[in-house]
Structure 1
Amino acid sequence: MPLSPTRMIRASPYWPVIAHSTLRRLLPGFTVSSLGDGMAVVAVSWLAIELAPAAERGTWVALAAAAYTLSGSVGALVLGRFLRSRSPAQLVGCDALLRATALGAIPVCHAFGVLGVELYVALLAVSSVLHSWGQAGIYTILSRLLPERDHLAGNAVFSGIGSLATVFGPPLAGALIVWGDAATVIAVDAATFLVLAVTFLIGVPRDTAPAPENGGSRTAGFAVIRRTPALLGLLGLSFAFFFLFGPVYVALPLHVSDDLGGSAALLAAFYTAFGVGAVLGSVVTGYLSRLPMWPVTTGIVIAFGFFLLPAGLGAPTWAAVAGFAVAGLLWPPYASLSTALFQRSAPRELLPQVLAASSAVRVLSVPLGTALGGPLVAALGAQGTLSASAVSITVLGLAAACAAHGASRKPVHPAAGSQAGPERVRGQ
């Protein structure tokens, strides 16, 4: 007899997450904020295109996209002394309040006619200073509220909400841009961060996720990663993966506007397709906990690059959009599995620092790749840049798979077994 939908939900790995009393209070606010971020994916680059001189659009789109995330890495490195004693909920709240303030200044300046592209990029940079700490706070809360066996499912639920936001956010942004302008979308995004701040500052009981007693030095998170080969290897793969994907954020908007002669709605369609795939990928992620880590992660990287190729090879638009959908399917499993590994491998008292360090490196990789997108587009064109990014990601995955296979064949001394990179990861 087939299970009813209710029983299927209760039997899924996600039930302990959505049924948790504290998480039920946090998920609505996180959902609202994620929707704002889904809208900003389109608005940030489109407003840069509107503000920048025509001959310099590629450069300014790259700078805007990089600024929206790059300073988060700087914040993770230099603000640890001031933030390491904060509770995870306070980390999320501080990040959200700063984002709301800085992003809210953009439409205000635009309304008064004083928003130049330079000021726009500067405000985007200020808004993301605490991004790594905010992300660390969210996933530290998850790791403390849920038992280890539910970490992957918890990560997948939050990742799935973000994926849903990329489905509904971009078309909503496209409609708002037609009705108003890109600055209007950023104003809405700023308001959603206020909701996120209130949700986490009020919704997390003080005794549920207390601040760590021993915060360690401001580089303690990096020290933990450096002496754990499995985490160091995974972080290296992630850095290269996201770095090579970074140029897509520059090339895709210009490919849509220049090569295809499309509008913001078509750009939104690419992001929406990616989001639809990511929603499905988030649903699948919770069932992957028994699979070996390295084959899964390297396989994801290989396949991700392959399915970006249609856009770079000039395939019909429907095929390029479909390729982005499949790439989106692969994104949540990679992100959630690697985050779960950090959650279960780092010392509890240093988990916020370790997650902030990991987030800083990953956050840094995308803007660096995005900044490279401007020169690449100038040299190869938007379509050529998409192709180069796809091929490079596939080659990276193949190289990582070969390296992991070679390492797994090496004999491991019993006393060092817990330090073997690929073997240690597969055991997680």
Structure 2
Amino acid sequence: MPLKPARILRTSPYRPVLTHSTLRRLLPGFTVSSLGDGMAVVAVSWLAIEIAPAAERALWVALAVTAHTLSGAVGAVLLGPLLRHRSPARLVACDALLRAAALGAIPVCHVLGTLSVELYVVLLAASSVLHSWGRAGIHTLLARLLPEHDHLAGNAVLSGIGSLSTVFGPPLAGALILWGGAATVIAVDAATFLVLAATFLFGVPHEDAPAPGEGGSRSAGFAVIRRAPALLGLLALSFAFFCLFGPVYVALPLYASNGPGAPAAVLAAFYTAFGVGAVLGSVLTGYLGRLPIRPAMTGIVVAFGLCMLPAGLGAPTAVGVAGFAAAGLLWPPYASLSTTLFQRSAPPDLLPQTLAASTAVQLLAVPLGTALGGPLVAGLGARGTLLASAVSIAVLGLLAAGAVRAGRKRGT
């Protein structure tokens, strides 16, 4: 007998998240900001292509994407004592206001004719200084508002919103690029962060600052991770995974620009397909609560690498896009399971620092991999770089799965 829609809604793992009084006020602002980020995925690299010297495009695309994330890792390490008294909502708001200011300066300079590619990279770096703390604030607030058994569903909702942004953001960015250039897209992204800041400043009840203590140390979050083998192993896997995926951010725009048809539209198609798969993956994630986290995540890494192979092997564009859609299906479960393990394992009073430390390591991994993208594309070409990334990720997953299995046999 088929389930009635009303019963499906009542039994959905997402119902407690979507009906929570505070989260209902926050999710719309988070959605608007995520859409801006989805547009920026295309715009950041495309503006670098527009303003960089033709012979140095690969280098400047790599630097632009790297700068957009690397400074967040530095901020996570250096700004702990300054931000430890901030509530999770204030951490999100501070990050959003800085992003709005720095990103907003890019289109202003572009209109005034003063935007060099060097200044562009500096402004991208400035925009992300507080990114680790902003992400930590969102997930810490989620962990405080929801009971533990709803954490995975809550993380999946946030991941799902991000996935939807990669579906609608890139094609919207492509249209805006054709109309007003990539700088216009970045201006819109800056405006969405103002919305996010207002949402978290006025939509969350007042929270007391955490009491001084171990949380004031710059290394408090890293100390928590070092003392927990499961967290340390997971963070090592995530670092390697994201580092090996980093070259794709450089190779894919150049791969699309060298192909037939409208290059911006082709690039948008890859990101949109990834987003469509991620939306479906986000819906499924909430039902995965009974899976053992570490074996599930190693299997996801193996499958992710295999899904990227078609583009690297030179398959027709449609097949490569389909592979990215399948990879997108796997991304939300990986991200949500990872965050859930941290929320369950870290001491509540040190959760913001622990999540910020985890985010810092992950943010460091992406630009390191992206920085390698320039030399790899120069040596292997765009398609060869995509192939090397896909194979390396699959091998990483197999090695990690073997390590997890060996640890279980030793009883750890």
TM-score (norm 1): 0.95
- Residue 200 of structure 1 aligns with an amino acid whose one-letter code is F
Residue 381 of structure 2 corresponds to which residue in structure 1? 381
TM-aligned CA distance change 1:353 to 1:162, over 3 Å:
same
Which structure 2 residues correspond to residues 24-173 of structure 1 after superposition, within 5 A? Answer: 24-173=24-173
Deviation track 1:223-269 (CA, whole Å, cap 9, x = no partner) reads 00011111000000000000000000000000000244642111000
SS at match of 1:204: coil
Matched, 1:334 2:334: yes
- Do the aligned residues in 1 keep the contact of 2:143 with 2:343 (CA within 8 Å)? yes
Q: What's the CA shift for 1:216?
A: 3.4
Deviation track 1:310-334 (CA, whole Å, cap 9, x = no partner) reads 0000001000000000000000000
- Do the aligned residues in 2 keep the contact of 1:285 with 1:336 (CA within 8 Å)? yes
Q: Provide the alpha-carbon RMSD of the alignment.
A: 0.9
Residue 212 of structure 1 corresponds to which residue in structure 2? 210
Q: Which whole-Å CA distance do the structure 1 matches of 2:308 and 2:385 have between them?
A: 11
Matched, 1:237 2:240: no
TM-score (norm 2): 0.98
Q: What's the CA shift for 1:49?
A: 0.3
Q: Which whole-Å CA distance do the structure 2 matches of 1:204 and 1:393 have between them?
A: 40
- Do the aligned residues in 2 keep the contact of 1:281 with 1:333 (CA within 8 Å)? yes
SS at match of 1:324: helix
Residue 367 of structure 1 corresponds to which residue in structure 2? 367
Residue 10 of structure 2 corresponds to which residue in structure 1? 10
> Is 138-147 or 401-410 further displaced after alignment?
401-410
Q: Which whole-Å CA distance do the structure 2 matches of 1:3 and 1:261 have between them?
A: 46
Deviation track 1:381-404 (CA, whole Å, cap 9, x = no partner) reads 000000000000000000001111
Show structure 1 runs of 4+ deviating over 2 A: 1-7, 259-262
Q: What's the CA shift for 1:378?
A: 0.3
> Is 148-157 or 262-271 further displaced after alignment?
262-271
SS at match of 1:397: helix
Unmatched 5+ residue regions in structure 1? 413-419, 421-428
- Residue 399 of structure 1 aligns with an amino acid whose one-letter code is L
- Residue 237 of structure 2 aligns with an amino acid whose one-letter code is L
- Residue 57 of structure 1 aligns with an amino acid whose one-letter code is R
Q: What's the CA shift for 1:211?
A: 2.6
Unmatched 5+ residue regions in structure 2? none
Q: What's the CA shift for 1:13?
A: 0.3
Which structure 2 residues correspond to residues 266-277 of structure 1 after superposition, within 5 A? Answer: 266-277=266-277
- Do the aligned residues in 2 keep the contact of 1:212 with 1:350 (CA within 8 Å)? no
Q: Which whole-Å CA distance do the structure 2 matches of 1:86 and 1:385 have between them?
A: 42
- Do the aligned residues in 1 keep the contact of 2:66 with 2:370 (CA within 8 Å)? yes
- Residue 144 of structure 2 aligns with an amino acid whose one-letter code is R
Q: Which whole-Å CA distance do the structure 1 matches of 2:84 and 2:259 have between them?
A: 47
User: Percent identity among equivalent residues?
Assistant: 77
TM-aligned CA distance change 1:390 to 1:260, over 3 Å:
farther
Q: Which whole-Å CA distance do the structure 1 matches of 2:374 and 2:178 have between them?
A: 27
- Do the aligned residues in 2 keep the contact of 1:49 with 1:61 (CA within 8 Å)? yes
- Residue 102 of structure 2 aligns with an amino acid whose one-letter code is A
Residue 308 of structure 1 corresponds to which residue in structure 2? 308
Q: Which whole-Å CA distance do the structure 1 matches of 2:69 and 2:56 have between them?
A: 21
SS at match of 1:175: helix
- Do the aligned residues in 2 keep the contact of 1:84 with 1:218 (CA within 8 Å)? no
Which structure 2 residues correspond to residues 216-295 of structure 1 after superposition, within 5 A? Answer: 216-260=216-260, 262-295=262-295
Q: Which whole-Å CA distance do the structure 1 matches of 2:98 and 2:4 have between them?
A: 44
Deviation track 1:340-398 (CA, whole Å, cap 9, x = no partner) reads 00001100110000000000000110011001000000000000000000000000000
Deviation track 1:12-63 (CA, whole Å, cap 9, x = no partner) reads 1000000000000000000000000000000000000001111100000000
Give the aligned length.
410
